[in-house]
Structure 1
Amino acid sequence: MKKIIYLFVALAFWNCKDVKKETVVTPVETETKEIAEEKKYPEALEKIFEAHGGLDLWKSMRFLEFAMEKNGVNEVTSTDLWNRKSLIETPDHALGYDGEQVWLKNKNDAEYKGKPKFYYNLMFYFYTMPFILSDDGIIYGDIEPLVFEGKTYPGIRIGYQNGVGESPEDEYAIYYNPETYKMEWLGYTVTFFTQEKAKEWHFRKYSEWMNVEGLLLPKTIVRYEYENNLPTTVHSENHFENVKVSKEKPNQELFEMPENAQVIE
């Protein structure tokens, strides 16, 4: 009888040790994960985030909306920043992404000019620089500084892991002011139409910024002509207004495909 009691006590002791061990391991793993996440960006990119209001503030925002004039009409882009559902509205068309598929609705007889699946998040991507470069699946690297009109801008090269996004072969280069760490230029390749590594670099200059809820967001983005993988002269400008960012979750019905819309394959 005593042997049975001793065996029961021994088993209870070892079970308690196992339970105690489990309670100790979990917070250590969590802490390690948090530390790893804090260190995953290049030091220069972290300083760029801070110069534009901070990555923590950006990631606390749930909704973004901005207006831009294009081809003589007002184009309004609305995006859920957490799931990337989006809606672009003009007087003639509505172009959206409901989380699974891209859709297009013609509001009248005007023909949509462009590639909907290429455009539905294009300006959103340009507009949310530099914060969009904190997305998962990004690979950071070195690149030669950009020299333009006698000024030198250090840069960070951006690539994507296989299977990330519609065009994982795309590359970006963010160039910044070495004194203020504000973003000054964006270099990028376009591979959507070929799905192959591109050799030509395009350029946009971030010439003006505005403070919106503590975040430094673009007021004007200037597209440049290019030659020999360098910017040359101004091609066109995009001006943004009525910019809104919010921590509130948007109504998800905003992004649902309406009746008489077509799915874009």
Structure 2
Amino acid sequence: MTISRSILFLVLASFSFACEQKNTTPDPRLNQPEDFKKLLDAHGDWKKWIDAKAFSFAMVHETNLAWENHYISLQDRKVRIDADTWQIGNDGEKVWISPNRQAFQGNSVRFYHNLYFYFFSIPYIFTDPGVKVNKFENKLLNGISYEAFEVSFEENVGDSSKDKYFMLVDPETGKLAWVLYTVTFFDKSNTKMNALKYEDYRNAGGLVFPRVMTGYQFENDSTKGLNYQVSFSDVFLLEEPLDEDLFKMPEKNAVVAN
């Protein structure tokens, strides 16, 4: 009995030590270049993003007033989007749409399912493993010189590891002002840049997010025609995970989509 209790004590002690070690090990995402940390700090306590389990927000397309509610599991990037005439989800294995593919008018459901989540989460999401953020020479946009960061990805990170981003910093606030980006999902050789403006930041649980994002065509260091504009509300960063059933593909009236 004494020996058994001794073994049990050692097992519990080892388990306790392992848990303590696990809890005290710094998250590698906290290890960012100092210049990038300065940008992150300007947006609030960005460690809250590292610790959060889930994220949700409401979004409106200002060009046609179509609405969407987005729900994201931050640890595994499962996604659910509810719109007026369709639902899109990523259950960790596949991307699906309900009630059918024809309900969504875009070119690719897979491309769309995390598009606005990704843009809306910059700069926090660039702390992800496999993302490389480096200080870059100042970039000119509409006649204004901005401090800039170049963002690239390691091979096989996400669906579009060839994408290129530049974050442009507001000289007055130190916050993200613009993102210049390429889209290689449909054409891996594409180098055409687009411009995305971030404005009217609002606090949500200790972090700030833009209330409005406006996408423009970009040419010769200047914005051209309007591509889209979206607005956001009801932004929540959650410490508890969302129900897994939220992301499951419905048994009826749903199809796997690319």
Unaligned runs of 5+ in 1: 1-25
Judged with a 3 Å threshold, the aligned counterparts in structure 2 of structure 1 residues 97 and 111 are, in CA distance, closer, same or farther, namely closer
RCO comparison, higher one (Cα < 8 Å, 6+): 2
1:105-139 per-position Cα deviation (integer Å, ceiling 9, x unaligned): 12797454431011000000011011011000012
Q: Give the aligned partner of residue 220 of structure 1.
A: 212
Output the aligned Cα RMSD: 2.7
Instruction: Tell me the secondary structure at the aligned position of residue 111 of structure 2.
Output: helix
Residue 197 of structure 2 corresponds to residue 205 of structure 1: yes
Q: Give the aligned partner of residue 247 of structure 2.
A: 255
Aligned partner (choices 121, 131, 150) of residue 128 of structure 1: 121
Q: Give the aligned partner of residue 145 of structure 1.
A: 138
Equivalents in 1 of 2:131, 2:104: separation in Å? Answer: 36
Residue 79 of structure 2 corresponds to residue 86 of structure 1: yes
Equivalents in 1 of 2:162, 2:41: separation in Å? Answer: 28
Judged with a 3 Å threshold, the aligned counterparts in structure 2 of structure 1 residues 159 and 262 are, in CA distance, closer, same or farther, namely same
Residue 82 of structure 2 corresponds to residue 114 of structure 1: no
1:152-167 matches, cutoff 5 A: 152-167=145-160
Q: Letter of the 1:64 partner, please give it.
A: F
**Deviation (angstroms), 1:229:** 5.2
Aligned partner (choices 6, 27, 34) of residue 43 of structure 1: 34
Residue 228 of structure 2 corresponds to residue 236 of structure 1: yes
**Deviation (angstroms), 1:99:** 0.8
Q: Give the aligned partner of residue 99 of structure 1.
A: 92
Unaligned runs of 5+ in 2: 1-16
- Report the TM-score, using the length of structure 1 for normalisation: 0.80
Equivalents in 1 of 2:94, 2:254: separation in Å? Answer: 12
Percent of pairs with identical residues: 31
Judged with a 3 Å threshold, the aligned counterparts in structure 2 of structure 1 residues 176 and 75 are, in CA distance, closer, same or farther, namely same
1:19-63 per-position Cα deviation (integer Å, ceiling 9, x unaligned): xxxxxxx99xx8xx9689477422221011111112211112212
**Deviation (angstroms), 1:86:** 0.5
Q: Which has the larger radius of gyration?
A: 1
1:231-255 per-position Cα deviation (integer Å, ceiling 9, x unaligned): 2354432111122221111101000
Q: Give the aligned partner of residue 66 of structure 1.
A: 57
**Deviation (angstroms), 1:263:** 1.1
Which has the higher mean CA deviation after the structures are superposed, 73-82 or 160-169? 73-82
Equivalents in 2 of 1:113, 1:37: separation in Å? Answer: 36
C-alpha contact 1:201 1:230 (8 A) present in aligned 2: no
- Report the TM-score, using the length of structure 2 for normalisation: 0.82
Judged with a 3 Å threshold, the aligned counterparts in structure 2 of structure 1 residues 158 and 109 are, in CA distance, closer, same or farther, namely closer
Equivalents in 1 of 2:126, 2:248: separation in Å? Answer: 27
Aligned partner (choices 169, 179, 188) of residue 181 of structure 2: 188
